[in-house]
Structures are given as C-alpha cells and as structure tokens.
Structure 1
C-alpha cells in the first residue's frame, strides 16, 4: 500500500486506482510493462479535467493495453463479501477496485461533495485489500489529497464491513 500513488488532482480516483492495481499486479507477476503510466490510463478512460473518467468502455479499452500479457479488464456489479474475497485471494487477478457512493465522502472532514455533470456526483473508487469478519481494509486515493495540517481530513482506510457494503 505504501507504493500506491495518491490522487494529484480532483476526479482522478478511478485512473489512480487502475494505475495502482496494474503496478501491483506487474510487481507480483514480474511483468514490468503491465504497469501503465497515469497519462496512458487517463487516455484509456477518456479522462477530462473537471469531469473525470468514463468507466463504461473501460474493460474493452484496457484490454487493448494488457491482453498481450495475458490479462483482461473485467467488471462485476453488486458483488457480495464472498465474491470480493475470491477476487482478492486469486493470484491471477488484480486487487479489486470498488465504487462507493458519494455518501462515503460525507464522512471525510472538510470535504464538500459537489454535484457533477447533470447534478450527479462522480462515484468514488477505492482499492480493496482485505475483507475479514469485521471490517474492510482499502486504499483510498483521497488519503493524501485532502489531508492538510489545518483539517486532518484523511478518509478512513478501514470501515466496518456493514458500512462498506452499504456504500
């Protein structure tokens, strides 16, 4: 987790999450070319400053970059604790990226959730490390972005399991 890159600008939580899981997978499997730079990932996601990334075409667009190394993008929605653990424990999978609702961000001190395009907030993404009986441990790209000496507003990196799956 200490090697994970935080966000450097707003609306890049998805692109940073993808960069971090690919870098982690590249390290674990000793495939350095699998670790894509942030600009390449922003292009794949059709990232626009102030708007964010577009997730819908992501698996297919990502496949063109990683399939030569034996990997492919995959999306599952509304998965449960058991399936999330299966993905985490699978040696051939990256760590999962989870999308959290904007209500999660209301728990970050000093952060004001703003409406996105058409009044809809951009979903927030985190990288999940573990799910145990009581809690979920994850990397939040906001971790360093909104932490300042004035507000101490770092988001949590652990949540009660019931709270995590509620969001």
Structure 2
C-alpha cells in the first residue's frame, strides 16, 4: 500500500509537458480549413483543435464530434430562440464554410507546466475528459485526456 501511495504522490506532481504524446499525433486544423477537412478528421477522432496558422499556432477553438450535428443539419431544423441563432449560422446551409465558423471558441485549456493533479482538478470542475495543452504564448503543444492520465498512472504502478 505504501508503494501505491508513493506512486500516486509522484504521479500528481508530474508536469503535463513530461507526459504529452507527440505533437504530430494531434487532430488539428487551421482556422481557415474547410469544413470537409474537419469532417475528414472527425471520421476517426472525437474532436479537432482549431489553431490560427497565421498567428504561430495559437489555439482558438475546438470542434467536437457531436458539434457535427449542428453544421450538417438544415437551418430550418434548428430550434431557434433568443441566443441560439449561432447554431443556425454554424450550419453548412446557413453559410458556414471554414473551421472558424463552426468551432466552439471556449476550448478549455491548461498550461503545459501545470501538474497532473491540477489537470485532474480542472477536468473534474468542468466535467471534461480532454483538455488542450498550451505553452506560455497560448500555442497548442498537446492534449491531455483521461485515457492518457490513466495510462501514465498505470505505467508508474507496474
């Protein structure tokens, strides 16, 4: 039991930058990428990070798998009331053509110098299983998911 307590204390203190998967494995598109490019990635992934390629890769949003419903459904099928016109505009038939027009701008992010414990707390507070990992300049450097955190913990235990 003492070994497990030691492992978990070490695990909680680890920095995210030390456990990130390779950056080239990230599902990423530029803000001006076509919706078809987004859909191509979403065939095999549950999300796509949207970066501003002209601004050195700064994270500006995320498109989740379930967001696809909004942009492939016709505008007249959206329930509209005050404050919901954005989803109508986010549809292809509503005029959306590029990633920045269909992304969610409030991607939850975390700095790569933060600890695993901090990431777990943030995931719990926001009820999320995935966080964008950014550097000090808000550039996307990785992602941390609950699956990655579980695997890292198990690596320490065995």
Instruction: Bin the TM-score by the shorter chain.
Output: under 0.3
Task: Give the structure with the larger helix fraction.
Answer: 2
Task: Give the structure with the larger strand fraction.
Answer: 2
TM norm structure 1: 0.26
Q: Which of the two has higher C-alpha Rg?
A: 2
Q: Which has the higher contact order (CA 8 A, sep 6+)?
A: 2
TM norm structure 2: 0.26
